[in-house]
């Protein structure tokens, strides 16, 4: 008879059980036989504090599972499946299933009030047990091969989907649970042919599938695609040519790709580099690059849909990342800068900027001024624009010790424009009195794009002051009477892109 397992303490309020927790098993050294018995602990991922949760849990085989809201945990004790109601510490352990050789996975379907628990039985046959979610008692068994490992629930929870191995494209089979009817595989999208495809993650009828066009050591042809299996559509595809793990976050608005390195000395033969990329699910565009310490693993929880927990097994600590609070770049105040135009201030708009945010040019920080959580200003050096090229602007922010997030980049073009393509124009001069005149200026830009020329050697007035409200962004075409300058009638020169115009009291009068 299996030993009854009791909680250590009775907590007065369920609020103490605030989520999320990471549950883990520790062997009790008081027993002579290693692995025979031990205790279950839990780590509060918000405070990084651990506590003993279930004492003398017995021989716990394999991982500790939890349901979607973490109100219940499951773990295998010898050949049985044990479960504990986390929300009520006065309850004792309950044994839901027997005759288990290994628990493969547990799918939670609150919509249909069921758990789908996939096991290998004592004959090593794979089957899925349908369990009543409230009573935690078995109500049916599914003996279908595709219910193991890579199957997932439809959005309504009434069907199970499975990725099919077909190199000509992405196919999913459907199993209607109540009628136990297996449907023919259906193609999703038009991706293919490829060498191999793998289900990386799934959630509510959405599947994240990775596939390669060529088998090579470095996985240079690896791509990911997000599939809506319910509607048989491809939402977006992402090139990610590295060995990696992929995750669909519970909010279903982002995917997280964690870069790996093959290393046989590590558990599972892989080394987690800490290089993590966050992509928009619908557009497939890069949102952030996260640089975290190596050797962590990603944890996701349905009741914290926008959080990524990066857990370190050896230290039993976690870095908690709120995806909604990461910096996001929007626009820069110019996309084209004239080569050799000198130093200038670049304005960067976005979201979630902080006082520690840094504007980066080609991966190198520039002096940054925090204006607000949506606006930064950075000093672009003269040397940054002395060669015709394209540079990339991004924003980096610290998110934890030795960790930072960097936004996607925005292109800044350093362009070399022939002198005749951008000309200053003196439209006319108005006399105010004997010693005061107003000169009206415009320009002509023969290029097809706007040109940015900051105030400096390529855009200045003489005599001083060099800045006299002249524009710094020059749209295509001819623009008359864009700005005016009041002067004393003596020669006033505007130099622009190697060309110049001179206003004086003898210049043509305005009508």
The percent helix, strand, coil of the chain (3-state, each to 5) is 5, 55, 40
Cβ(308)–Cβ(403) under 8 Å? Answer: no
pLDDT at residue number 144: 58
> What pTM value is reported for the model?
0.82
Strands (E), 303-388: 304-312, 317-322, 328-332, 336-338, 344-351, 358-361, 364-366, 368-372, 375-380
Q: Round to whole Å and give the CA distance between 25 and 181.
A: 39
The reported pLDDT for the residue numbered 64 is 95
Provide long-range contacts, Cβ within 8 A and 24+ apart, for 122-130: 122/79, 128/160, 129/97, 130/177
Report yes or no: 231 and 265 within 8 Å, Cβ to Cβ.
Answer: no
Instruction: Return the sign of the alpha-carbon dihedral for residues 45, 50, 55, 60.
Output: positive
State the pLDDT at residue 8: 36
Domain topology for 327-415: Immunoglobulin-like (2.60.40)
Lateral strand order in the sheet of 436-445: 422-433, 436-445, 477-487
Helix H or strand E segment including 99: none
**1-149 matches 327-415 in fold:** no
Fold classification of 419-503 (topology level): Immunoglobulin-like (2.60.40)
What integer pLDDT is reported at residue 149 of this predicted model? 55
Average pLDDT by stretches of 10, the chain with 511 residues: 33 46 83 68 92 87 92 93 83 87 92 93 86 94 62 91 85 90 90 87 92 78 92 92 93 94 68 94 94 94 94 92 95 90 94 96 97 98 93 95 94 86 95 95 90 90 95 92 96 95 96 83
pLDDT, position 423 = 95
Q: Would you state the pLDDT for residue 36? A: 67
Beta bridge pairs of residue 411: 392
- What pLDDT score was predicted for residue 282? 92
Domain extent listing, the chain: 1-149, 327-415, 419-503
Q: Which CATH number fits domain 1-149: 1.10.10.10, 2.120.10.30, 1.10.3720.10, 2.60.200.20?
A: 2.120.10.30
Q: Distance between CA atoms of 420 and 459, rounded to whole angstroms?
A: 15
Question: Rounded to the nearest 5°, which phi and psi values hold at 191?
Answer: -85, 135
In sequence order, the 6+-apart residues with CB closer than 8 A to the CB of 53 are 7, 8, 23, 39, 40, 41, 42
Residue 323: name the closest of 382, 407, 231 by CA: 407
């Amino acid at each position: 008879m299996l030993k009854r397992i009791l909680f250590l303490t009775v907590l007065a309020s369920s609020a103490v059980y605030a989520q999320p927790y990471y549950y883990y098993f520790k062997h009790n050294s008081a027993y002579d036989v290693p692995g025979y018995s031990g205790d279950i602990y839990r780590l509060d991922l918000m405070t990084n504090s651990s506590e003993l949760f279930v004492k003398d849990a017995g021989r716990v085989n394999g991982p500790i599972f939890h349901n979607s809201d973490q109100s219940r945990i499951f773990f295998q004790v010898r050949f049985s499946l044990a479960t504990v109601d986390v929300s009520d510490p006065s309850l004792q352990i309950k044994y839901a299933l027997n005759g288990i050789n290994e628990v493969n996975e547990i799918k939670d379907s609150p919509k249909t009030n069921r758990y789908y628990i996939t096991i290998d039985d004592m004959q090593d046959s794979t089957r899925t047990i349908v369990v009543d979610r409230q009573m935690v008692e078995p109500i049916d068994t599914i003996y279908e091969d595709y219910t193991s490992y890579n199957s997932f629930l439809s959005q309504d929870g009434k069907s199970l989907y499975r990725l099919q191995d077909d190199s000509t494209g992405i196919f999913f089979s459907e199993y209607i649970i109540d009628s136990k009817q297996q449907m023919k595989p259906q193609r999703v999208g038009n991706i293919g042919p490829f060498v191999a495809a793998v289900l990386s993650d799934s959630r509510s009828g959405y599947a994240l599938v990775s596939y390669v066009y060529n088998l090579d050591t470095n996985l240079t042809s690896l791509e990911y695609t997000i599939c809506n299996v319910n509607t048989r559509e491809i939402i977006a595809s992402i090139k990610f040519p590295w060995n990696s793990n992929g995750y669909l976050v519970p909010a279903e608005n982002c995917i997280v790709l964690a870069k790996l390195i093959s290393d046989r000395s590590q558990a599972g033969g892989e080394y987690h580099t800490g290089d993590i990329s966050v992509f928009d699910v619908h557009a497939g565009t890069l949102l952030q690059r996260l640089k975290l310490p190596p050797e962590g693993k990603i944890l996701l929880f349905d009741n914290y849909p926008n959080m990524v927990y990066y857990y370190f097994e050896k230290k039993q600590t976690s870095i908690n990342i709120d995806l909604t609070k990461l910096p996001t770049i929007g626009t820069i105040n110019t996309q084209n800068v004239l080569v050799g135009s000198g130093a200038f201030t670049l304005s960067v708009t976005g979201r979630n900027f902080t006082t520690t945010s840094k504007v980066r040019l080609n991966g190198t920080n520039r002096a940054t001024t925090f204006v607000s959580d949506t606006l930064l200003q950075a000093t672009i050096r003269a040397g940054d624009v002395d060669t015709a090229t394209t540079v990339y602007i991004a924003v980096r922010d610290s998110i934890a010790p030795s960790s930072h997030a960097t936004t996607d980049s925005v292109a800044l073009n350093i362009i070399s424009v022939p002198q005749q393509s951008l000309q200053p124009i003196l439209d006319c001069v108005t006399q105010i009195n004997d010693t005061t005149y107003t000169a009206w200026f415009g320009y002509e830009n023969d290029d097809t794009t706007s040109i940015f020329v900051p105030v400096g050697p390529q855009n200045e007035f003489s005599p001083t002051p060099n800045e006299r409200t002249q524009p710094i962004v020059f749209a295509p075409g001819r623009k008359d009477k864009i700005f005016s300058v009041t002067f004393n009638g003596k020669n006033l020169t505007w130099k622009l892109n190697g060309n110049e115009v001179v206003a004086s009291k003898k210049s043509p009068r305005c009508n």
